[in-house]
Amino acid sequence: MKRITLSGTPSEIGYQHGSSAKDKVHLSLNSYERLFRENNGFTWKEAVEKGKFFMNYLEKNFPHLLEEMEGVAKGAGVDFYDILTLNARSEIALTSSKDGCTSLSYSKGNDNDLYIAQNWDWMSDQTGSLIFAEIEGKNHSIRTVTEAGILAKVGSNSHGLGIGLNALMIQDYKEGLPIHLALREILNCTDIDEAHALVRDEKVSAAGNFIMAQDNGETKRLINNEITPNLVTSKGFVDAGALCHTNHFNSEEIKKNVKLTPLENDNSYLRLDRIKQLMNDAIENDKLIDEDVIHSWLSDHENSPMSICRHIQNDDGTVEGITVFSIIQNLTKKTGKIYVGQPCNPSDIFEISFQ
């Protein structure tokens, strides 16, 4: 995974992203061109037309995100609409194909540290497109792991605000902020109330689950948000609480009122039951939950191949979906680690710091 440091205006940040990770941006474009063709049945040109759907909304409401994407395109030497399409890849691809994650946030109380962590499970060849971006803005700094060309995925900022993502599938999306641009905008927020308003007010265009948490030095907040284009449900805690999520809806309100895409197998349910078991066992036994304990949870192989740490292979030996990276963030200390590959045996480890 390549570490890049970005600063300046949105346009300058984007240009530095595109130019310093040019080869990886092209890898992302090639990967999604193949994904759209093989899994969704349409060409890259057709995908670009779908991506253009979001232009008017972004121009009216989030022009700085367009500026950053334009900068990425110039830096990487590609068309702007290619980068827009990458950043709308969840809306384009995840109505008929799936990505997987196991995410969590935990705080024992006001005298203990607040954590947010997750595995990201996806296509194995996207490992080569990963970047760790350290973004230095006017008002705060951002640390995010993402796929090159995409403005953000999961991470945190210097205000102690962190975000985690679980892909969720429904057939519809609307005019609004694509999932990955919403993640970037949340990382632009200074506090969790501002971030929560972004999703609560139904500005996100498609389905997803956002776990967000913040330690602002006085109060710890944890909020889980199950998002659909027209209905958002949230569950939150102050100071002490535990949240976890995988890749299916748990909200009875959403299940009752939204037409959901059936899952192909029990993978998501098994992972959720297992992470709940691991967390509850630790809590009930009053075990100190720290980075090492959370790392052991994310490395768990119970129910393999449908485990939290995934090493799935098809009969012909090709990989269907694996844990591409894991991230554990201590929002109190503003530190953390990124494990590239499966956390049980990472190919590389990156330290997160705001120093």
- Overall average pLDDT of the 323-342 stretch: 97
Q: Where are the domains of the chain?
A: 98-353
Helix (H, G, I), strand (E, B) or coil at 109: coil
Residues 6+ apart with CB under 8 A from 152: 133, 142, 144, 146, 180, 181, 183, 184, 187
Please write the tens of the pLDDT for every residue from 223-243: 999 999 999 999 999 999 999
Mean pLDDT of 58-79: 98
pLDDT recorded at residue 171: 80
Residues 167-186 have pLDDT tens digits of: 998 888 899 999 999 999 99
Name the architecture of domain 98-353: 4-Layer Sandwich (3.60)
**Total Cβ atoms within 10 A of residue 88:** 27
- Mean pLDDT for all residues in the chain: 93
The answer to whether 312 touches 321, Cβ cutoff 8 Å, is yes
**What pLDDT score does 319 carry?**
46
pTM of the model: 0.95
Q: What are phi and psi of 119, to 5 degrees?
A: -100, 145
pLDDT over threshold 70, residue 294: yes
How sure is the predictor about 276, in pLDDT bands with cuts at 50, 70 and 90? very high
In the chain, beta strands by DSSP E: 2-7, 100-107, 114-122, 130-136, 141-147, 154-157, 161-167, 208-215, 220-227, 232-238, 241-245, 311-313, 319-330, 335-340, 348-353
Q: Among residues of the chain, what percentage have pLDDT more than 70? A: 96
- The answer to whether the CB of 314 falls within 8 A of the CB of 320 is yes
DSSP state of 250: -
Cβ neighbours of residue 282 closer than 8 Å, sequence gap 6 or more: 289, 293
Nearest alpha carbon to residue 116 among 260, 261, 224: 224
Average pLDDT over residues 68-86: 98
Predicted pLDDT at 235: 96
- Upstream peptide bond of 305 is cis (omega within 30 degrees of 0): yes
99 has a pLDDT exceeding 80: no
Tokens of 10: 């949105």
Average pLDDT over residues 305-328: 79
Q: What are the tokens at 138?
A: 């006017």
